[in-house]
Amino acid sequence: MPRPENSTNVRSPARRALRAGFSALSEVAPRLAARAAGRLILTPPRHRPPPAEREALARAEPLALPGRDGALRAWRVGQGPAVLLLHGWGGRAGQLLPIAEALAAAGCSAVTLDAPAHGASPGCLASMIHFAEAARAAAAAVGARMAVGHSLGGSAVVLAMIRGLRLDTAVAISPPRGPAGFVAQAAAELGVSAAALGEDMERRLGVSPDALDLPRLAPPGAAPLLVIHDPGDREIPFADGAALAEGWPTARLLATQGLGHRRILRDAGVIAAVVAQARQWLPRCGGCGRLATTAGPEPRCAGCAMADDLWDRDARWAAS
């Protein structure tokens, strides 16, 4: 979920009137006010991608991946081991194209996804739970070995791993530690009961926001995690990313400088760090050392797998 000032989907001059309305309703019907606030803060904005982004996506391979409200839209660039990319709240798949293209150049198949209720994907409501479910289903569909998420997408990737998604490695860029802080801030912003809003979130999502504190939930044998965060991030506190890195037993924290919350996705150093994480942890071909497209006891890239098949075929002909 977003910061409360973004979660209301209104401009600043209208926020005071919105708060006044919610406060008045909360005085007479606190549960009803919490239900209305809950739906409001789970309704993300959709932003049309700029022309350059649309042109870049047009050159990628379009995919339809499974989702709870219908097929989710995604785009694939490159060939090799699959890497899933997931944007943040109010974002879209094209925002991660610079990272996707760099991963493709390094020998990966990068799949960037429009999350539920975002971009061209169906749905009306979204949350960390919705994002994590989408990440698990999409990763299974494309056979992802690695995932990269930004903001809420980064937290969702981590939650998906906690809930059983098996990856070789992952990268979380500017991730919140969980939704509890957002719920409390949204309650204060809208003038509704924090307890009532927390109960409404638990009813909607099936879990209390307080139970989704990611630094406390790292599973045994957790895959290597790279957390990238900027101390100057004004949307997600740097302390959240630092806490996640500290709580995840195999995590490493990379602190950037002067990149904030969004420029971090286009920074050459950040992109290089993501590619380096892929090269370090994804399996390599036993024949040539490039990133492998197949796993198992003898990983192979596409070229070496074809050569193996041709060699076996020639050997079979010679023996016949």
Is residue 118 within 8 Å of residue 44, measured between CB atoms?
A: yes
CATH number of 51-178+213-281: 3.40.50.1820
Quote the tokens at residue 73: 């839209």
- Dump strand ranges (E) for the chain: 61-65, 72-77, 82-86, 109-113, 144-150, 169-173, 225-229, 251-255
What contacts 250, CB < 8 A, 6 or more positions away?
222, 223, 224, 225
What span, in angstroms and rounded, lies between the C-alpha atoms of 284 and 193? 53
Neighbour count for residue 29 (Cβ, 10 Å): 13
Comparing 290 with 66, the larger pLDDT belongs to 66
Identify the pLDDT of residue 15. Answer: 79
- Dump strand ranges (E) for 37-134: 61-65, 72-77, 82-86, 109-113
What contacts 21, CB < 8 A, 6 or more positions away?
none
Say yes or no to pLDDT of 238 above 90: yes
Task: Quickly state the pLDDT bin for 292 (edges 50, 70, 90).
Answer: confident
Nearest Cα neighbor of 52 from 117, 98, 114 is 98
SS3 190: helix
Burial-class residue 18 by CB neighbours within 10 Å (0-12, 13-18, 19+): middle
Q: Which residue has the tokens 């610079």?
A: 98
**Dihedral (C-alpha) 158, 164, 170, 174: value to the nearest 10 degrees?**
-10
Beta bridge partners of 255: 229
Calculate the alpha carbon distances from 57 to 21, 44, 49, 63, 114 in Å: 42, 22, 10, 11, 12
Identify the pLDDT of residue 10. Answer: 43
Task: Quickly state the pLDDT bin for 302 (edges 50, 70, 90).
Answer: low
Q: Which residue has the tokens 């919350």?
A: 261
Averaged pLDDT score across all residues of the chain: 90
Identify the pLDDT of residue 281. Answer: 93
Identify the pLDDT of residue 285. Answer: 74
pLDDT in tens, 44-102: 999 889 999 999 999 999 999 999 999 999 999 999 999 999 999 999 999 999 999 99
Number of H helices, E strands in the chain: 12, 8
Identify the pLDDT of residue 147. Answer: 98
Annotated domain spans of the chain: 1-41+179-202, 51-178+213-281, 287-320
Burial-class residue 11 by CB neighbours within 10 Å (0-12, 13-18, 19+): exposed
Q: Is the dihedral of CA 251, 252, 253, 254 positive or negative?
A: negative
Q: Supply the pTM of this predicted model.
A: 0.87
What span, in angstroms and rounded, lies between the C-alpha atoms of 46 and 24? 29
What span, in angstroms and rounded, lies between the C-alpha atoms of 25 and 32? 8
State the DSSP code for 69.
T
